[in-house]
Chain A
């Protein structure tokens, strides 16, 4: 099983600031199979990034993904009020599908 470890657990930032979220895998993940999701309270997760760096339909370009092998990053270039949420990375290239434990981006 591929274990994904996200850091930090919580990121306290102000609107307009840049957010950098990390996802580290216990073994190499093909970059084709690494996704990022956003989840707000009481809502289902929403796909943001797939294939490590491709934005899903309708996702603003302030969201970007990068990385390869065991280290991946989600960057939000300038935080908007609606971006404060929990973010999860996921590998979907091998069973069992696994998620990171999440990073909460909160308003400072």
Chain B
């Protein structure tokens, strides 16, 4: 079935790095823009980063710009989030999400498929 599965979360000290992965299955991964969204404990949803279907266009939230890098390997059907210089405030569940196809006269779609999330804890 259509699925996204994140991995790579864990406990890390401030200033260190971590790489998250998101494996896709059940659909043509290379055709879809994909995003990272995070949720701090007890808080709401925060968009983090986006990468276009071919990997050439990327964009980031100001809170992570210069520290996080999003990438993808379409041959492996996998999305990545390289997180450097981690801060305590980066502690959150990180979700990958597929941007759905929008029909008709539109240029962007909602997040129609989400992974189950992977927890990242930044603590000394």
- A44-B115, A44-B117, A88-B44 known; A96-B62 Cβ under 8 A: yes
A-B contact count (CB 8 A): 63
Q: Which residues of A contact B95 (CB under 8 A)?
A: 44-45
Q: Which of B36-67 contact A (CB under 8 A)?
A: 44-47, 50, 59, 61-62
B83-124: which residues lie under 8 A (CB-CB) from chain A? 95, 99-100, 102, 105-106, 108-112, 114-117
A34 to B114, CA, bound (A): 17
B59 smallest CB distance to A (angstroms): 5
A38 to chain B, nearest CB (A): 11
A92→B107 CA distance, assembly (Å): 10
Q: Are B106 and A88 in contact (CB under 8 A)?
A: no
Interface residues as binary, A75-101 with B (CB distance below 8 Å gives 1, 0 otherwise) = 000000000000010101101111111
Number of interface residues of B (CB under 8 A): 24
Asked if A44 and B45 sit within 8 Å, CB to CB, the answer is no
Known: A90-B110, A96-B62. A50 touches B45 (CB 8 A): no
Contact surface of B with A, Cβ cutoff 8 Å? 35, 44-47, 50, 59, 61-62, 95, 99-100, 102, 105-106, 108-112, 114-117
In the complex, are the beta carbons of B114 and A99 less than 8 A apart?
no
A56 within 8 A of partner (CB): yes
Q: What separation, in Å, do the CA atoms of A49 and B73 have in the docked complex?
A: 30
Residues of A within 8 A of B105 (CB): 32
Cross-chain contact A92 with B108 (CB below 8 angstroms): yes
Give the residue of B45, B50, B111 whose beta carbon is less than 8 angstroms from that of A47.
B111
**A: which residues have CB within 8 A of B?**
32-33, 35, 37, 39, 43-47, 50-51, 56, 88, 90, 92-93, 95-102
**Most chain-A Cβ atoms within 10 A of its Cβ — which of B45, B50, B105, B115?**
B45
Q: In the complex, are the beta carbons of B109 and A92 less than 8 A apart? A: yes
Alpha-carbon distance between A95 and B110 when the two chains are bound, in angstroms: 13
Question: Which of B35, B112, B116, B117 is A97 in contact with, Cβ under 8 Å?
Answer: B35
Given contacts A45-B114, A46-B114, A47-B112, 13 further A-B contacts (CB under 8 A): A35-B110, A35-B111, A37-B111, A44-B114, A44-B115, A50-B109, A50-B112, A51-B106, A56-B110, A90-B45, A96-B59, A101-B44, A102-B45
